[in-house]
Amino acid sequence: MSLLDVSGLGITFGGLKAVDDVSFAVPAGEIVSVIGPNGAGKTTLFNMISGVYLPGRGTVHLNGVEVTGQTPDKLAPMGLARTFQNLQIFHEMSVLDNAVAGFHLRERGSVWADLLGLPSVRRRATFARDGAMKLLERVRLGDLAEEEAGNLSYGQLKRLEIARALAVDPKILLLDEPAAGCNAVETEEIDALIAELAGEGIAILLVEHDMKLVMKISNHVVVLDQGRKIAEGPPEQVSQNPEVIAAYLGADGEEALHAEG
């Protein structure tokens, strides 16, 4: 049984099938990438899996439990965390507080205790703070902990979103273009981080435009085109698939193939 099982998932926006009958699975410790041209439905698929959109058809199973249509705040305690393609940072909070917010489920207590500043609040806050600090160091933002998040660069904010998602202590992590807008060095770092997380047993579902990154780190690639799954398999196999090259990869595909060597 896989950690995440997506079966026959579909949604229609105003008569347009944005995602149609998509199925795949993500086992623990594996990196599964979803690729496809712009408008192929990758982010829509993500939004259905993470509960942001209500799927029109199909099912989502998390660890064997059906979670189709569950809201994101119900999915988080079950171990699903995600990042966003268009950053969703708490801009007016400090970098540290952004990461601490990720500990919400583990640091929350009674509202009364919070209002009265009881010692239990401090205990929980210290736990969350220490944990958040470790995660920030892991994504190399430790030095910027006290900075207001709005002052960070795009690449740094991408990493902050990963740290915040990790604070949820996920079993499965959905990363929506984590390397977009990052330079070569930053992309390498994110690449290494993702591989490391998978090594720790976290299942990773990745949407990424950087073909080099996808082909290098994925165990399994799912190709979408106009909302439909047109191919899936190991990266080497998918990148050789003529249908994939024709439908999507095109010039990029040549590049990717060369990169593969």
Partner 1 sequence: MSKWIQLAILAALIAILPVFFPSGYYYRIGALVFVNGIAVLGLVILIGFAGQISLGHAGFAGIGAYACALAPEQFGLHPALALLLGAVLSAGIAALIGRPILRLKGYYLAVATLGFGILVAMTIQNERALTGGPDGMAVEELGLRDLLRDLGWRVSGGEFWYGVCGIALLIGAWIALNLRDSPTGRAMRALHGSEIASRTLGIDVARQKLVAFVISAVFASVSGSLLALQNRYITPDVAGFMHSIELVTMAVLGGAGSVMGGIFGAAILTLLPQVLTVLADYEQVVLGVIMVTVMIFMPQGLLPSIARRLRRTRK
Question: Which residues would be at the binding site for partner 1 (CB under 8 A)?
Answer: 50-52, 71-73, 75-77, 81-82, 84, 88-93, 97, 100-102, 104-105, 107-109, 111, 113-117, 121, 124-125, 128, 164-165, 167-168
Of 76 and 213, nearer to partner 1 (C-beta) is 76
Q: Provide, rounded to whole angstroms, the least separation between the CB of residue 88 and partner 1.
A: 4
In whole angstroms, the minimum distance from the beta carbon of 122 to partner 1 comes to 9
Structure tokens at 18: 């944005």
What distance, in Å, lies between the first and last C-alpha atoms of the chain? 34
Considering beta carbons, is residue 54 or 108 the nearer one to partner 1? 108
Q: Which is nearer to partner 1, 76 or 182 (CB)?
A: 76
Closer by beta carbon to partner 1, 86 or else 258: 86
Show the tokens assigned to 226: 């106009």
Supply the minimum distance, in Å, between the C-beta of residue 233 and partner 1: 30
CB of 261 to partner 1, least distance (A): 38
Q: Contact 211/119 with Cβ under 8 angstroms?
A: no
CA 59-62-65 angle, to 5 degrees, is 80
- Closest approach of Cβ 9 to partner 1, in Å? 18
Nearer to partner 1, 97 or 188 (CB): 97
* CA distances in angstroms from 203 to 85, 102, 121, 175, listed in the order given: 19, 18, 32, 11
Torsion of CA 169, 188, 91, 76, to 10 degrees: -20
CB of 126 to partner 1, least distance (A): 12
Considering the complex, state which of residue 21 and residue 97 has its C-beta at the smaller distance from partner 1: 97
Per the CB < 8 A criterion, the answer to whether 9 and 19 are in contact is yes
Residue 3: enclosing H or E segment and its boundaries? none
One DSSP character per residue, 25-92 reads EE-TT-EEEEE-STTSSHHHHHHHHTTSS--SEEEEEETTEE-TT--HHHHGGGTEEE--SS----TT
